[in-house]
Amino acid sequence: MKKQNIYREAREKYNQEHDKGLNREEAAELLHISVASLGRYENDESEPTSDVVFNMSKIYENPDLRRMYCSECCQIGQEDHHYSEPKTLFESGYGLINANKILDVFKNELFDILSDGVVDENEIVKLRDMIPQIKTVQKLLSDIEIEIEKHSLKHDIND
C-alpha cells in the first residue's frame, strides 16, 4: 500500500471540493515555489518548510494540514502533539461543555495546591495526574479552532 502524502492529499481534497481545482503548476505558482519543489513535496522526496506548509493550509483551505505537519515532521510536535483527526465542531463543542465539569475540579484542586505558595511532592503528583485531562481539553479547543478556521476559509471570511 502506498504511503499517504499529506501535501498531495490536501491539494486533491481541495480539488474535490471546488469546481476549479488546482493542478500542480497552479498550486506551485500560488505557493511561490517551483513545480519541481511541489512535486518533491508531494512525492515524499523532500519536506517543505513550515512557511510553505502554512501557505498550503491557507490556499487548500485546510488548517489541519499545519497540525499534521507539526506532529509528523517537527521533532517538538512529534513529542508533544501526536496527530489525531480533528473532531467536528459539534463533537468538540459538546466535549468542551462536558469538560467543564473536569475544569471545575481542576480549578478547585489548583486553588488548594497553590493557596499556600508552596508545591510539595504530593502536589506535584496531583499536578502530573491532571496532564492527560488538560491535554484532552487542549485538543478539544484546538479542534474547535481548526473547524472555525475551515468554515471561515470556505466562506472567505478573513482576519
pLDDT of residue 150: 76
Over range 130-142, report the average pLDDT: 81
Report how far Cα 113 is from the mean position of its chain's Cα atoms. Answer: 32
pLDDT of residue 81: 59
pLDDT at 159: 46
Angle of CA points 152, 87, 127, to nearest 5°: 110
Banded model confidence at residue 1, pLDDT cuts 50, 70, 90: very low
Domains of the chain by residue range: 6-80, 89-154
Comparison of pLDDT for 123 and 149, the residue scoring more = 123
Q: Is 65 exposed, middle or buried (0-12, 13-18, 19+ CB in 10 A)?
A: buried
Task: With a cut of 90, say whether residue 8 has pLDDT above it.
Answer: yes
Class of the domain covering 6-80:
mainly alpha
Choice among 31-35, 56-60, 142-146 with the minimum mean pLDDT: 142-146
Q: What is the pLDDT of residues 59-99, one digit of tens each?
A: 999 888 888 888 777 766 656 655 566 677 778 788 888 87
